[in-house]
């Protein structure tokens, strides 16, 4: 069997945002967002379900899945592979925007319903935390008094998850493993929860039509190109930093030699231009 790489955002929407994905999405959210809560999702409505025309273009770097839960909470689920500048601000902005647009003019604030932004990312965001899942709410800084639960940000950092398939202890870990590794699986594991088995069926390339497969493969190729571009930019930035660091070190050496050697000799020793040596001397 061949399965879609669910880390590819459109494949993520195919699995979790299709019309028949309601039970899958409920299980996913109950495991990751409501793991230790008394309340569990019993029903939801998927907003803007997956369709092929939506995935024709490849300019956007993310696609989200939106759902309204049975208690009227709105959830925005996003799969993000590339760590763009300002990503964390965009997540907060989208959550705040979806919270504020609920009211029409002159409507009461008590009509506002909670918004949860769940971001699954394929990079490290919080170096200071060892947790794979981090949740943020509005609280008082020193006494940690809860201000309001209406906006919650949840981040799942896939690179922090290191468990193998035979080490998975609960459905939460099964779901994280699924998102992280579905594209490399060759069969449906027997020990997986039934909803995750169904998710793998949704991701089975044998169940996709020609247009869907073409769109998914183009999307994966586009993201691979973007990742290579980011890597190249990082490498070039590192090399420039190294060059700058070496020049600064050479300048320090040259300063220490000004009272000992002439400008030409210092230039030979440090590799710095004679004109720069003269500027340092002046």
Q: What is the arithmetic mean of pLDDT over 67-80?
A: 92
What per-residue confidence (pLDDT) applies to 152?
Answer: 95
Task: State what percent of residues in the chain have pLDDT above 70.
Answer: 87
What per-residue confidence (pLDDT) applies to 57?
Answer: 47
CA atoms within 13 A on the CB side of 72: 8
**Per-residue tokens: 13:** 């929407």
- Between the two ends of the chain, the Cα-to-Cα distance in Å is 73
Q: What is the pLDDT of residues 191-217, one digit of tens each?
A: 899 999 999 998 888 887 888 777 777
Q: What is the arithmetic mean of pLDDT over 98-111?
A: 85
Residue 247: which of 224, 271, 228, 265 has the closest Cα? 271
The residue that leads in pLDDT, 129 or 277, is 129
Task: State what percent of residues in the chain have pLDDT above 90.
Answer: 45
- Phi and psi based region of residue 78 (left: phi greater than 0; alpha: psi -120 to 50; beta: remaining): beta
**Per-residue tokens: 271:** 């590799």
Count, in order, helices (H) and strands (E) of the chain: 8, 6
Give the predicted TM-score (pTM) of the model.
Answer: 0.75
What per-residue confidence (pLDDT) applies to 137?
Answer: 93
Q: What is the pLDDT of residues 229-276, one digit of tens each?
A: 556 655 665 555 556 677 778 888 888 888 767 788 788 778 888 888
Q: Are 13 and 65 in contact (CB under 8 A)?
A: yes
The rounded distance, in Å, linking the Cα atoms of 262 and 200 is: 73
Q: What is the pLDDT of residues 77-93, one digit of tens each?
A: 999 887 877 889 999 99
């Amino acid at each position: 069997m061949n399965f879609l790489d669910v880390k590819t955002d459109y494949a993520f929407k195919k699995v979790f945002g299709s019309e028949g994905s309601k039970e899958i999405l409920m299980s996913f959210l109950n495991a990751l967002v409501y793991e230790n809560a008394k309340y569990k999702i019993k029903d939801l409505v998927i907003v803007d379900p997956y369709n092929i025309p939506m995935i024709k273009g490849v300019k956007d770097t993310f696609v989200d899945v939106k759902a309204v839960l049975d208690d009227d909470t709105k959830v925005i689920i996003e799969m993000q592979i590339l760590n763009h500048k300002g990503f964390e601000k965009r997540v907060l902005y989208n959550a705040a925007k979806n919270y504020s647009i609920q009211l029409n003019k002159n409507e009461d604030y008590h009509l506002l319903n909670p918004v949860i932004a769940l971001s699954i990312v394929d990079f490290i965001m919080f170096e200071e935390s060892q947790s794979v899942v981090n949740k943020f709410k509005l609280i008082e800084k020193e006494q940690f008094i809860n201000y309001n639960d209406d906006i919650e940000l949840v981040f799942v950092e896939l690179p922090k998850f290191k468990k193998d398939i035979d080490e998975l202890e609960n459905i939460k870990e099964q779901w994280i493993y699924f998102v992280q590794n579905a594209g490399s699986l060759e069969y449906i594991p027997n020990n997986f929860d039934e909803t995750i088995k169904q998710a793998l069926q949704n991701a089975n390339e044998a169940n996709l039509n020609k247009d869907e497969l073409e769109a998914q493969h183009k999307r994966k190729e586009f993201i691979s190109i973007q990742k290579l571009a980011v890597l190249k930019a990082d490498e070039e930035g590192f090399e420039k930093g190294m060059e700058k660091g070496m020049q600064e070190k050479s300048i320090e050496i040259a300063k220490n030699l000004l009272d000992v050697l002439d400008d030409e000799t210092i230039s030979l020793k440090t590799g710095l231009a004679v004109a720069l040596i003269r500027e340092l001397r002046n």
